[in-house]
Amino acid sequence: MDKILTIGGANMDILAKSRELFKMKDSNVGFVSSNVGGVGRNVAVSLSKLGYPVDLITAVPNSDFGEMIVADLTRHQVGTRLILRGDFADPIYVALEDHQGEMIGAVNHMETLEALDLKYLEALDIDFQSYCLVVSDTNITPEAIQWVAGMKKRPPLAVEGVSRYKVLKLRPVLSLIDLLKINEGEALSLTGRSTPEAALKSLVHQGVKEVHITLGSRGALAGNGLETIHVPAPALKTIRSVNQAGDTYFSGVIDGTVRGLALEEKIVHGQALAAKKMREG
């Protein structure tokens, strides 16, 4: 299958889920788990599971957590030769969920990725034309994003937003993005519009070739200049966790893009993979 290059975060996820209705400003009984995550890593692993050869560019510390991250990538057959190792702080993402698996809030510490500076990126031995697609998240620095987007003779660029703040890094390069996946909050933050429909229209007008806006329980909205489609979310009886669901949706959309699926087919494919992830946790 076609090779894909991913650039972005790989970190330790610490997930705390309340057993009962969450009480703010109080100690809640629940469950705490940890696993390897990060948007770049999650998309890379999901694509590998779909059968794609994938390489990941990220920064990983020389620590126990760092060894766990590299071991996880190796186990999932994600290429690690482009990873920068160093004496960095541990990259950690802590998420808090209610008893229904919905996110209450999260904190991330991703300063490690500042090490992926232009000096490191430009020195990499990469034949970009050997990849069918480059995928980036917005955890990397603005300079790194602009380097990737502005690269000559690169394959199409797919980008996933990470937060309402980090997605603002994309404003200077919107016209260079072929595929963009963001959630509703990120879409409104990026465009200054008041509705996802208006945000999608604005992004397409600014030159993004195809935009996917996930709307949580309301499904997903996508458009490409020729058509705009909303697909409701599939009904789920049980949700173990919404963590990584958006990244999994994006991997389905990427897979559909590489295979030449129609816009609605991409949405449905991404939603099916995300639903499976939410059921399994």
Does the pLDDT of residue 5 top 80, yes or no?
yes
Q: Which helix (H) or strand (E) holds 94?
A: strand 92-97
DSSP for 162-188 reads -STTGGGGGGGGGGG-SEEEEEHHHHH
User: Is the alpha carbon torsion for 12, 257, 223, 276 positive or negative?
Assistant: negative
The model's confidence at residue 240, banded by pLDDT at 50, 70 and 90, is confident
What does pLDDT average to over the chain? Answer: 95
Per-residue pLDDT, averaged over 196-206, amounts to 98
As given in the structure block, the two tokens for residue 271 are 């939603």
The pLDDT tens digits of the residues spanning 268-280 come to 999 999 999 888 8
207-230 pLDDT, tens digit per residue, is 999 999 999 989 999 999 899 999
Query: What's this model's pTM, rounded to 2 decimal places?
Result: 0.92
Q: How many domains does the chain have?
A: 1
Whole-number Å distance between alpha carbons of 110 and 74: 21
End-to-end alpha-carbon separation of the chain, Å?
Answer: 28
Find the domain containing 99 and state its range: 3-280
The span from the CA of 232 to the CA of 227, in Å, is 17
pLDDT of residue 102: 85
243 pLDDT more than 80: no
Question: Using alpha carbons only, what angle is made at residue 273 by residues 158 and 9, rounded to the nearest 5 degrees?
Answer: 45
Q: Residue 3's closest CA among 49, 55, 74, 53?
A: 53
Pick from 34, 98, 40: nearest CA to 68: 34
- Residue 50: which CATH number? 3.40.1190.20
